[in-house]
Amino acid sequence: ASIVALTEDDARRIGLSVDPNKFGVVGEGAGGPVRGQRVRLNEVRLDGKSGYDLGAVVLEGATVSLLGQNYLRTVSVAMDGERMILK
């Protein structure tokens, strides 16, 4: 993912106002158009590593949230086999 992608539940859990009536096409996936709502995140913090003022999307029907490249570029990332380690 190029930007952070959130499930509707995760978006609500962090206090974002999500209105499925405002969902529109936000991208293209293997199965066709992907619907959601664009949002802005003041901060994304994971294990003490923060990225600030990041674009994100809340995806309709998503079952897992994804860290996007826009967050991963703000931290040092190392790969260990199939594991991604944030430094």
Of the pLDDT bands very low, low, confident and very high (cuts 50, 70, 90), residue 10 is very high
Per-residue pLDDT tens for 48-74? 889 999 999 999 999 999 999 999 999
Q: What is the pLDDT of residue 68?
A: 93
- The closest of 60, 80, 72 to 1, measured between CA atoms, is 72
| Euclidean distance between CA atoms 7 and 79, whole angstroms | 25
| Euclidean distance between CA atoms 23 and 38, whole angstroms | 8
Per-residue pLDDT tens for 13-39? 999 989 999 999 999 988 899 999 999
Of the pLDDT bands very low, low, confident and very high (cuts 50, 70, 90), residue 1 is confident
